[in-house]
Each structure stands twice: as C-alpha cells, then as structure tokens.
C-alpha cells in the first residue's frame, strides 16, 4: 500500500487515511499537500522584482 507524507509533520501515513497517524489531526486534502510541495521548490531569491 502506498504511503502519503503528512504535509504538517512529515510522518508517513497509509494512502486513504483520513487522520495523521502521528498527530491524530485530520489530514489536509491531497491537492493542498501537492501545492505546498511545489511552492517549496521556489525560493524568494529565485524571483526578481518587476
């Protein structure tokens, strides 16, 4: 079974789990986790003022 990383605490959770196995908090939607992961790829130093 694939595992999904909790976007808040980075613990591994079974795919389809509704709550983080580490914190017990409701997991965010998968799309939110993907957006957060992609946003982390871009740093302010990579951007330039217009």
pLDDT, tens digit (0-9, with 9 covering 90-100), for 1-50: 688 888 788 888 888 888 888 888 776 655 566 666 676 676 666 667 77
What pLDDT is recorded for position 16? 81
CA distances to 35, 45, 46, 47 from 26, in Å: 18, 33, 33, 34
What pLDDT is recorded for position 21? 86
What pLDDT is recorded for position 22? 87
What pLDDT is recorded for position 35? 66
What pLDDT is recorded for position 27? 66
pTM across the whole model: 0.43
The residues spanned by each domain of the chain are 3-41
């Amino acid at each position: 079974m694939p595992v999904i990383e909790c976007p808040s605490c980075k613990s591994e959770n079974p795919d389809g789990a509704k709550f983080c196995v580490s914190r017990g908090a409701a997991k965010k939607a998968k799309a939110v986790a993907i957006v957060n992961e992609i946003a982390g790829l871009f740093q302010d130093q990579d951007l330039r003022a217009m």
